Chain A
Amino acid sequence: MSIDDSLARFLALAQFFLKDKEALLEEPYRGNVGVIWALFANFCKEHGFSLIVVTGAASFVLLLEEFNDVSGTALILKTNESPEQTKIEWINVANIEILKNRLTSDSAFEESQVAVDCSSQSEVKPVFQSLFQILDGPLRTEIESSRKINGFDYDYSRLWDALTEPTAMVQLGKARAELTSTKKPYFEVCENKHHIHVITNTFFNSKTLGLSNEIPSNARVTKLLAAAQHMIDKEVLECIRTKIHFLPLITNYTDVNLGNCSYLDTCHKLKNCRYVHYFTMCPPLQPNTKETEKQVVAMEYTIGECHDSSTRKPLPPQWINCDVRNLPFSILGKFAAIISDPAWDIHMALPYGTCKDTELLSLPMQELQDEGIICLWVTGRSIEIGRKALGQWGYTVSDEVIWIKTNQLNRTIVTGRTGHWLNHSKEHLLVGVKGNPIWLNRKIDVDFIVSGTRETLRKPDELYEIVERIVGKHARKLEIFGRDNNIRPGWVSMYGTGRFCSFHLLQTIY
């Protein structure tokens, strides 16, 4: 680095201001020239600018004014009659940076040339690009730290990323759930209209099925497919083997212009319904696509699960069929999870016994759990009662899960006057937590379930496994107000408000 001596004083000043920057404006200097001149004099001595002599505030102010001329007013000065009282109010670091680069770089003039040229097209583009980059960036002020420390100083985006990163417990829990849970068969739905066209032309039409409006059996469709196989090209056959196809059932009753039946495969008037219905052609279940039980011998991550979880067999289903209102809950022991689907006493004629709100609220639910979770199905009008009930039983609501109801064609239910003001495409499940169960596996699933509708009031089975993932596979789990089709391994079910009692419980309380 060689530099004209006459310019050395500017370089010295630039380096001086770049060293401490705005810190000079704060305590203890407060931009006070009367103090800073001495600092600068010291700086010159230490950094080999021995030719520069600053003897007092007055000469320093002169120097600063000169510096402002060459740096494009990098310093905002508040002048005073007495130079001692002159203040530096602002330091434009960028200008000083530029000046320093000019002084130390050999190609200073070339650079200035480019700067002048920036009006030409080729130079405008990067400016726009960089502006758009700024617009696309995060909506936060990013402060570059001058200090080279690997901490979080000023680096808010790093801090934010660290804060929002899923915790190790969540990550491990997710990985374990993936490793230990059975992967169930999954088929995509074919969206290729040509395939449907080929299938309806060759073997699935009123000629082959007859005009009677009823859903053909799987066996019948399989037979028809086998007979027509030679007429269908390879690609379509392969697709039939791997994907689901929804085939329209067109009879002489059907008016295609009306569109789909709101009820589809649950239509009660199938025989003379004029809307379009469908047959679901599933790919044949091959043995290798069946549920494949994963063999996990041992798992080092055991938080929220039994240590012998991988070798332990789930308990067989247990059930009690009785009037839940008359059962002494204390004999059942404690549970880690409870699912409850009470028949809410809403003003509708339903073909089963309902339970009065007050009766529900007076159940001694507190006896069933010291620490754990409860899942309570609610309908629109009973959400408030449900919340109240959970509060009364000692729970805090942690989640509101929705079940997005889908129809036969994997679409949400948008027709059919399913709600009072708006149509209802979902149902709500309140989830409450009691005590301080640190052993829960959090955030493995999301707070919605997508599942098809079945019989009236039947809830999706997906919930059981979601709950098992939260409380652990072998935790004690209870379903209260279930129906007999709900009983399942690993769960205790209490159902019926009915007249018959039946009982099947294992003695050991885990």
Chain B
Amino acid sequence: MYSYPKYGSKGTSSSSGSTGAQKSRERKVAPQVVVKTEDPGAPFRKASSYEMDYSNHYIHTGHYPTQVIRNVNFQTDGYPKLQKLKDLKEAQVERHATKPFGAKVQTDQMISVLNKWASQGLQFDVIMIGALVENQFIVEILNLLPLFKLCAKPGFVFIWATTANIKQLTTLLNGERWNKKFRRSEELVFVPVDDTSEYFKPGVNDGSHRGEGNGNNESLLGRKQWHCWMCITGTARRSTDTDLIHCNVDTDLQIEPQGGARVNHNDAVPETFYKVVENFSNSTRRLHIVPCHTGYKHPVRVRPGWVVMLPDVILDNFDIEAYEQELHSKSYVKFRNTSMNGHQKLVPQYLVAQTSEIETLRPKSPN
């Protein structure tokens, strides 16, 4: 027992061995003081003698704590059913994917092109914005994008962000223009396993400097995260809208495999994130907008099932008519009854058809 005087101890009383009756009396005359002689945390700490401290290991060896994670290269290790599900879904997604489309558009032209698309009635169910490269004009573009028109309801938007611009994006999402039409629903994160990663170069988005414009401070820790916000517009119910979405197939954390860009593709958006999106949304209309040059070191590859818009995409074949033809021939089209401004309307939905095997294997959501 420590022999220091105590604070606020007007009625310093009783020992640790107070009886139940005493305790209930004390309750009424709170704040009464009970002096404990034992450290209540001791047994908890003792029990954890085998838990290793990988942050401590990092301090002493420089090895990232992520290096000890054993399923970095094969995420579903030990879960054959989940892997089977992912394989089956991948095959279905491929079967119903449009051919890859690219739209080579300069950053300053993007808004007008997208406005044109929106005015021609083009809509997407999934829109990804940005990539893991610096110098993006994400906030500027988002401020002007006709996103609400371009995005189907329900629709899903994935926005790439660094820790530095989270505050800006939060303001934007809750601001007048977006008017809370998009709700941030998940935050996906990408981290490296070692410091050879091309996505986490020193001096790039690493919080070494105060960004007054972003309202963020100089960081206290080494910044090793890319964030991808998943936002939802419209209503999607995870238990009943299973033709539209499959929940809980993937997780909100992706780790860059060992060796970084030297052994892996150094795409501006790692392939694993496209897969997360494809596994989650069963719709076939997918758009990826990258509002900056990414260079040949971090290329954005065109991908079956996606329309990719960026200034230096190699393929420039986008044409609304050709795209809609592709959609109709590849998708499983289903009409959905929705009421718009009081009028009942049949809206076509372009979907990836599902199989009964997928239906059995997929995680089910409660109502």
Contact = CB atoms under 8 A, between A and B. Distances in A.
Given A410-B68, A445-B59, A504 B220 contact: no
B175 interface: no
Nearest to A440: B220
A61 to B, nearest CB: 44
A406 interface: yes
A263 interface: no
Contacts of B218: 398, 442
Interface string B207-235: 11000000111111111110100101000
Interface in A390-421: 396-402, 404, 406, 409-415, 417-421
A502 B34 contact: yes
Contacts of A448: 65-66, 191, 224-225
A139 interface: yes
A178 interface: yes
Contacts of A399: 163, 207, 219-221, 223
A440 to B, nearest CB: 6
Interface in B82-112: 82
B238 A421 contact: yes
Contacts of B340: none
A38 interface: no
A181 B60 CA distance: 9
B252 A396 contact: no
A189 interface: yes
Contact of A502 (B36, B76, B191, B222): B36
Contacts of B208: 164
B40 A465 contact: no
A419 B55 contact: no
Contacts of A442: 218-221
Given A411-B70, A419-B252, A485 B189 contact: no
Interface string B1-30: 010111111000000000000010011001
Contacts of A317: 39, 41
A501 B33 contact: yes
Given A399-B220, A447-B223, A504 B6 contact: yes
Contact of B189 (A189, A402, A418, A466): A402
A316 B38 CA distance: 11
B66 to A, nearest CB: 6
A411 B253 CA distance: 12
Contacts of B49: 285
A177 interface: yes
B287 interface: no
Contact of B81 (A259, A402, A426): A259
A486 B219 CA distance: 26
Nearest to A443: B222
A423 interface: yes
A86 interface: no
A257 interface: yes
Contact of B52 (A185, A397, A415): A185
Given A502-B35, A502-B36, A183 B60 contact: yes
A450 interface: yes
B202 to A, nearest CB: 4
B222 A447 contact: yes
Contacts of B40: 319, 484-485, 487
B255 interface: yes
Contacts of B55: 445, 449-450, 462, 465-466
B217 A398 contact: yes
B15 to A, nearest CB: 12
- How many A residues touch the partner, as a band? 35 or more
Interface string B224-262: 110100101000001000000101111111010000000
Interface string A65-109: 000000000000000000000000000000000000000000000
Interface stretch (B119-127, B180-188, B299-307, B311-319): B180-188
A190 B218 CA distance: 40
B196 interface: no
For chain B, what secondary structure do more than half of its interface residues adopt (helix, strand, loop), or is it mixed?
loop
Contacts of B188: 422
A247 interface: no
B69 interface: yes
Given A259-B80, A285-B49, A485-B44, A431 B2 contact: no
B23 to A, nearest CB: 6
A326 B60 CA distance: 43
A325 B122 CA distance: 54
Given A187-B52, A500-B27, A431 B221 contact: yes
B253 A504 contact: no
B190 to A, nearest CB: 11
B323 interface: no
B51 interface: yes
Contacts of B2: 316, 504, 506
B286 to A, nearest CB: 17
B250 A443 contact: no
A387 B170 contact: yes
B221 A488 contact: no
B337 to A, nearest CB: 24
B186 A331 contact: no
Contacts of A470: 220-221
A139 B55 CA distance: 34
Contact of B221 (A397, A401, A452): A401
A415 B69 contact: no
B295 interface: yes
B41 A487 contact: yes
B79 interface: yes
Contacts of A128: none
A373 interface: yes
A184 B221 CA distance: 21
B51 A451 contact: yes
Nearest to A485: B44
A345 B250 CA distance: 27
Interface string A480-506: 000011111000000000011111111
A174 to B, nearest CB: 8
B158 to A, nearest CB: 11
Given A411-B77, A440-B220, 16 more contacts: A181-B59, A187-B52, A189-B68, A276-B78, A316-B2, A327-B31, A396-B217, A397-B216, A406-B69, A412-B255, A445-B59, A448-B191, A487-B39, A488-B41, A502-B34, A503-B35
Please provide the 10 A-B residue pairs with the shortest distance between their CB atoms, ordered closest to farther. Answer: A164-B203, A450-B65, A485-B44, A260-B78, A398-B217, A425-B253, A411-B71, A164-B202, A423-B251, A487-B41
Interface of A: 135, 139, 160, 163-166, 174, 177-178, 181-187, 189, 191, 257-260, 262, 276, 280, 282, 285, 316-317, 319, 322, 326-327, 331, 373, 380, 383-384, 387, 396-402, 404, 406, 409-415, 417-426, 428, 431, 433, 440, 442-452, 454, 461-462, 465-466, 469-470, 484-488, 499-508
13 contacts: A174-B59, A184-B52, A322-B30, A400-B166, A411-B69, A426-B253, A445-B59, A447-B223, A448-B66, A450-B66, A451-B54, A503-B9, A504-B35
